Chains A and B, each alone.
Chain A
Amino acid sequence: MSVKTMRCDEVRLLLMSLADGALVGARAEAVRQHVAGCARCSEELAQLAADAELLRKEEKPEVPAYLGTRIMAGIRGRQAGARPWFGLSRAMARVAAVVLVAVGVWLGTALARGMVGPQQSLTDRLAQVGLELPNGEDQ
């Protein structure tokens, strides 16, 4: 935006930023140059600066003692709470717990159905149906 093309209504929006010190760089310079040649905007800037000065008279709030320490204590507490199992994150620990339960259920069911555990020898199973193996073939 060049100085020549800036109108009062365009400058007006930026005057308060200039008064607050929030306008920087080329835009600040362009507004300053417009104000230097415009009595109305110059008066407006003086008024805005006076308002800003009044607002700045408000006392700075007192920061509560040990606020920073309490913030860090809270963060360290959450961090510790987030690693309940051998350094795993909470989400990973949940997944591990679900997998363990599922394996336990499957193992229990499999044992009950005889899918897992000591197997009957071939000789015993053939004997149950009245057959027997020739000598030495059940090795």
Chain B
Amino acid sequence: MSQNDDRQLGERAQAGDTSAFDELVRRHHGPLYCYLYRTCRNGADAEEMTQESFVKAWEGLRGFRGAASFRTWLFRIATNLCINRLSRRKPVDPLSDDVPAARRDEPAETYRQRQLKECVGAALESLPADQRSALVLSIYEELSDEEIAEAMGRSLASVNSLLYRARMSVRQALAGARSRGFV
């Protein structure tokens, strides 16, 4: 899959070719869902926002100039939706210091893995929406800083600052997991 292919498909879709847009949906709906899921931490919300993002993209195809890649343009639509939705949610409580005990007959390694997974999830969830969004785009979607800036409608310096604060918070959260021997 190349950006040129996407651009051609985008141009055909702009001309009203539904099958070209169908192909763009087929290519991008999986990564977009994963991004939204990891950012909003909820499957139903992620599914709804994935659908909404593509509907907005279809309706706004005239605004797609091809200067950005279709993927970045689509992620920008999704990021706006997601940050708006998250800003209406109640903030998540800080990480608790309580460590749940191992389940009955749970092997030590399974318990450690489960705790680590929960620590990572909680660390991400504790971040403000914009920091989480930037971090997910960077770590999981492997976008470059420039692409993240485009996808978030921010300057490069602002993205670097968001990522820095996100990573510092995550490090603090993961320090707890390290001190408990989960890492």
Contacts and interface: CB of A to CB of B under 8 A. Distances in A.
A52 B166 CA distance: 12
Contacts of B138: 16-17, 20, 22
Nearest to A16: B167
Interface string A46-65: 01100110111111110110
Contacts of A76: 18
A36 interface: no
A63 B33 contact: yes
A21 interface: yes
Contacts of B171: 47-48, 51
A61 B143 contact: no
A57 B34 contact: no
A13 interface: yes
A55 B29 contact: no
Contacts of B37: 61
Interface residues of A, number: 34
Contact residues of A: prevailing secondary structure: helix
B145 A54 contact: no
B144 A24 contact: yes
Interface string A74-114: 11101100000000000000000000000000000000000
A70 B51 contact: yes
A16 to B, nearest CB: 5
Given A22-B145, A55-B170, A58-B117, 16 more contacts: A16-B163, A20-B163, A22-B143, A47-B171, A54-B174, A54-B177, A55-B139, A55-B140, A56-B140, A57-B117, A58-B38, A58-B120, A58-B121, A60-B34, A75-B55, A78-B59
Interface of A: 12-14, 16-17, 20-24, 47-48, 51-52, 54-61, 63-64, 67-68, 70-72, 74-76, 78-79
